[in-house]
Each structure stands twice: as C-alpha cells, then as structure tokens.
Amino acid sequence: MSTPLMVGAVAYTPNVVTIWEGMREHFREGPAEMDFVLFSNYGRQVDALLDGTIDIAWNTNLAWLRTVAQTDGACQALAMRDTDTVFRTIFVARSGSAMHGLESLRAKTLALGSKDSAQAAILPVHFLSEAGLDSDAVKLLRINSDVGKHGDTGRSELDALRAVLDDKADAAAIGVNTWDAIGREELMPGAFEVVWESPTYSHCNFTALPTLPPERVAPWLDQLFAMDWDNPEHRPILEMEGLKKWVAPKLEGYASLIEAVKEQGIPPRW
Amino acid sequence: MVSPRLVLDLIERVGSAPHGATVSVPLTGDDPDSLTETITAWCLRSGNELVEVRDNVASVRHGRGFDVLADLAPDQVPGTRLWLYTNFDCNLACDYCCARSSPSAPRRALGLDVVRKLAAEAVGAGVTELLLTGGEPFLLPDIDELVAVCTDALPTTLLTNGMLFAGRRLERLRRMDRSRLCLQISLDSPTPDLHDSHRGPGSWARAVAGIRLARTEGFRIRVAATLQVGDIRDLEPFHAFLDSLDVARDDQVIRPIAHRGFADDGLELTLDSLIPEVTITAEGVYWHPVSADHVDQLVTVNPFPLDQVIAEVKRRFVEQRSRATSAAQWFPCA
C-alpha cells in the first residue's frame, strides 16, 4: 500500500471537515487512498503544494492562477465540479431600480466582495473594464469581509447585498451560488433583480504539480469520478460541496480571470 | 412581505454553522407570521430545516435533521403496533400495576363495536400487530369475539395473567385462532416468592398452570416478567425454568417496573423518554400502554379516524425528538 495522497483544502466553514472526512472515507480501501490537510487561506495552501507538503490542492480559480504563475504553467488541473464549469457573476440591484446592463451602472456605486474573490471583485471589475467602465465611471465600494479565502465564505457578498439594502450601493456583484442561495428573484420578489449576468467561467479545480506520477493520479481520478449523486453514501458529500458530478477541468474557462489578474496587477501570493 | 435582511442573516449564520447544528435567528419586526413564512420558504428551498419558532426566535438546522423514524427498528415505528385496553377491571391487584387495575376498578370496557372498527381501520393505517391488554381480558364475557375480530384483521397478542382458564373462559380460549394469536402471560420469577409478593398468594402456581394449559392447547406463549431494576440480574435460572415450560427464548420478555399507577417506585417514563406505542382505551388515545391511565400522556379522546391519530402521534414524536436533538446541540457540556 502506497502512502495516501495528501489533499489540501481551505477551511472556510466547519463543514469542510465533514466534507473531507467523507471524501477520505470514499477513497478508503480503494487503490488510491487519500488524507487531507486544512489551511486557513489559499496563499498557505499554494505554498504547501509547491513545497511538497500536499500532493493535490483543492484550489479556487485565483489559487489555480497563482499556482500556474509560480510553476511557469507546469502545474496540472485534474478535475473540477460540474458547477465549476459554468460559474457566473451576477450584478443585482433593488427591484424596480430600472438598471439593465452594465452601462446602467455608470455614475452608480457598485458593492464588491472581498478583493481576492474572483467572482465578487476581480472579475466584476474586469467585466466593467471590458464594457468601457473604469473606476471613474463606476464608484466601487469594496467590502473585504473574508480576505484569504477567495470569497468562499460568501460573507462579503452578503455584506455587499446588505450595502444595497442600506442604500450604500446601487448594485452588488455576487457569485451565482450566492444568487441561488438567496433564492434568485423567486424567494424574495420585490427585493433584488438582475442587472447583468456574466458569461460563464471556470472556478475551482484539483491542482497538482507535474511531479505527481500519472500512475498515482489515474486511480485517484477514477475513484473521484466514480462518486455518484444517486448513491446515498456519496450524495451528502456532493451536496455539501455543491456539485452533482466531478468532471474533467475546463481550462479555457480561466481566460477571463487570466486577463483580469494581468490588468489589475493582482499580487501573486493572495 | 418577505424580509431580505432575514434571508441574508440566515444564509450567513446557517452557512457558518456545522452541518447538523442548529442556529437561532431572532424574528424582529411587526409581522412574525410573515417572517416565519420567509424562513419556511428559504429552508424548503435551501435544504435546511426549520426546527421551531418560539418566542419570536426561529431555530434552523443546517441541513436536514436525521430521520427520526428511520432510526427506529421497524416494529418501533409509532403506529406499527396498536394497543387496545379491552377493560381495566382485574382479578388481581398487583402492587406495581401501571394501569391501576384491580377487582375494585371500574370495567371501562372498550366494547366489541369499537374494537371491530379499530381492527378494520388498523390494516389501512399501517398497523401490523394488535395487542389486547387490561385489566384482565378474560373477565370479559365476549373476549373470544373481541379476539376474533382482531385476529381476522391482523396478528394479535392477548395479555393475560393466565389464571382464569377454566369453565366457560376455557371454552372461549379454545375458540381463539391459534395461528394468529399469541398469549402473553405474566410471570415474574421461577419460584413463587417474588411473583406472589407482588401479585398475591397462590398466583404464581395458577399462572404456571395457565402457561402449561395454553401450551397444551397449542397456543404460542410469550412470558413477560416485570421486575425491579435491581432484580434484573442473574436471570439464567428464570430462563431455564421458562425453557422447561416450552417458552421460546425470543418469547421470554423481562422488563423493569415503571413508576406509574400503583408502583411506589420504578423507571420514570415520560413523553420525552418513551417511543410512543399508540394505545386506545375507553377514555381515548394514549402515548404508550404504560401510561394508559394517566392524563399527562393522553393524545386525544377520539380514536377515529385511526390513520389520522397515528399520524398525529408520529408528528409529535418526530417534533419532540428533533427538538431534543437541537437542545443537545445548544448546550454542549464541554
């Protein structure tokens, strides 16, 4: 029996322990056992991947890009959630605001989530820039509630929504997962409405260094992809992690974030 | 009016709690009913569980709580077994009787018509076994008819002290359906002393004779002993004695005395500590047969329609267990 593969994840909620203990159990007695290490932030996790403390990192899109940058593109993405292939940023405003499209944000205040959140800060600024709206055109209210966790807690996005309710901002940029969590426009009719919805982009992935041998990666991936939504033992873990199926990584989905990081000069160690 | 702030607070507080843990969210505003509706809708949509709303505070569990009923053995699921108190009068006055039965107790019989209707509804209500108890059911002149309407519907157990199998009562016993009926006879010890000390002089010998007779008549016999908690040890001589009476080991039931009815002490059994077994008497529906003469465990006075009564008992049980689980999480000791 070889040493278990060591997977790193960031502890953004107590449930991360439950998720990864469930994952470890799934891999137990299989051909590719695994254990896990939890980190307080993605910077530390990427460092641990680079120095060999962990074999695989469960990375956000920004952490993936930071790993790419620090390995000159040699790192490999192994898998992602089905939901990671179609992630989106949603710009929302109070219902009845008559704001439709990015141009309607001109001369308005947009609340952003934590500065290291791709979905709630980095990409929204990029999308505005693509639309010709720089910081003079749209006032940005940055709410850095959970820096280090790349927006995983969702707290900064909730704070951005509160800023809209408090009339401190006209609109907020949030991830589609937060938009789903508040029930879109259905649960709270008359509260929020969509101003603009971004194109899809890729979010998290399992990242490994090229030094991880293929004969160790392949059986681990086989076992990962064998997780089944209809299997009652697997389903609670999949539900908590927010997916129905593990899929192959969609690397082209990182193009917008690569551009955004370059444009905004995002530092390499966030 | 939906409260967006409440939903944002819910997401943040529930999301940061461990799966299975419960958080409290204050309902501040002029319209608590509307806020409760909001929470209910959000929980339904997000896969979380509203445990309760009390004193304008909502308790919400992260994720769904464990399935209370799925955790039970199949025969423990409330409504699977239906107890019927045929009567409360008895030829004995056992000093620990939870039902306060005795020769001076009023009969308070359920009656053939009610038993027939209950047996008929029981099948459709998901009941798989009927249990008739008292009092002493063999004091009833129509006990054979009561048993017949039950065994025609479902497998049935008849609890008795086994002391009255003579004359017309023996004839009534002989008319019962051996293939569908189990006789549960009370016997507390392998020798007369302990049994007679609780149930009266000579009662042990007559009960043992009743067991032998019923076995000879071809009935399946279950023996149930009721003992002080401290006496539930070194039971092998008792089991050996019951083996000699041809009572199968699975039909040798030992249970502690409950602090109910005539008992001066014993296990304290409350709504919170009992898995309900729906029990019907002439006065109404009770939580459990051990509390059939106690108003604190009265569920409703009307036993019909039976399926709705069983559903209500299940609902209360699930709610109570869920609340207890939540309370345990609110007050960790270390």
Find the mean pLDDT for residues A201-211.
97
Residues 6 or more apart in contact with residue B117 via CB below 8 angstroms: B304
Question: In the predicted model, is pLDDT for residue A193 greater than 90?
Answer: yes
CB contact under 8 A, B2 and A13: no
* Interface-testing mutation among B6, B9, B13, B16, with chain A (most A C-beta atoms within 10 A): B16
Find the mean pLDDT for residues A244-255.
97
Give the pLDDT of residue B328. Answer: 52
Phi, psi of B185 (to 5 degrees): -110, 135
Give the pLDDT of residue B334. Answer: 47
Is there a contact between A33 and A241 (Cβ–Cβ < 8 Å)? no
Is there a contact between B186 and B161 (Cβ–Cβ < 8 Å)? yes
What span, in angstroms and rounded, lies between the C-alpha atoms of B257 and B194?
A: 13
CB contact under 8 A, A182 and B11: yes
Task: Residue B38: list chain A partners with CB under 8 A.
Answer: 187-188
Q: What CATH number matches the domain at A88-197, 3.30.590.10, 1.10.287.130, 3.40.190.10, 3.90.320.10?
A: 3.40.190.10
Tell me which CATH code domain A5-84+203-254 carries.
3.40.190.10
Q: Please report, to the nearest 10 degrees, the dihedral formed by the alpha carbons of residues A64, A67, A68, A73 taken in order.
A: -130
Share of chain A above pLDDT 70, in %: 99
What span, in angstroms and rounded, lies between the C-alpha atoms of B10 and B50?
A: 11
Nearest to A155 among B12, B19, B47 (CB): B12
Mean pLDDT of chain A: 93
Q: ipTM surpassing 0.85, yes or no?
A: no
Q: Which amino acid is residue B171, in one-letter code?
A: E
Q: For residue A20, is it left (φ>0), alpha (ψ between -120 and 50) or beta? A: alpha
First to last CA, chain B: 41
pLDDT, mean of each 10-residue run, chain B (334 residues): 82 87 83 85 88 87 80 91 98 94 97 98 97 97 98 98 97 97 96 95 97 97 90 89 96 89 84 90 96 92 97 91 64 48
Find the mean pLDDT for residues A178-207.
91
| Domain map (residue ranges) of chain B | 4-65, 74-305
Q: At what angle do helices A123-130 and A255-264 cross, to 10 degrees?
A: 90
Burial A187-214 (b: 16+ CB within 10 A, else e): bbeebbbebbebebbbbbbbbbbeebee
Q: How many helices (H) and strands (E) does chain B have?
A: 9, 12
| Domain map (residue ranges) of chain A | 5-84+203-254, 88-197
Tokens in use for A97?
């605001």
Map B101-144 to HEC letters: CECCCCCCCCCHHHHHHHHHHHHHCCCCEEEEECCCHHHCCCHH
Give domain B74-305's CATH architecture.
Answer: Alpha-Beta Barrel (3.20)
**Residue A51 pLDDT level (bands cut at 50, 70, 90):** very high
Find the mean pLDDT for residues A234-255.
94
Nearest to B2 among A15, A162, A187 (CB): A187
CB contact under 8 A, B45 and A182: no
Give the pLDDT of residue B332. Answer: 44
* Interface-testing mutation among A92, A143, A158, with chain B (most B C-beta atoms within 10 A): A158
CB contact under 8 A, B8 and A182: yes
pTM of model > 0.80? no
Question: In the predicted model, is pLDDT for residue A72 greater than 60?
Answer: yes
Tokens in use for B8?
């944002």
DSSP states along A84-143: GGGB-EEEEEETT----SGGGGTTSEEEE--TT-IIIIIHHHHHHHHTT--TTTSEEEE-
Task: Residue B7: list chain A partners with CB under 8 A.
Answer: 182-183, 187-188
Find the mean pLDDT for residues A46-62.
97
What span, in angstroms and rounded, lies between the C-alpha atoms of B161 and B183?
A: 10
* pLDDT, tens digit, 9 for 90 and up, residues A89-131: 999 999 999 999 999 999 999 999 999 999 999 999 999 999 9
First to last CA, chain A: 36
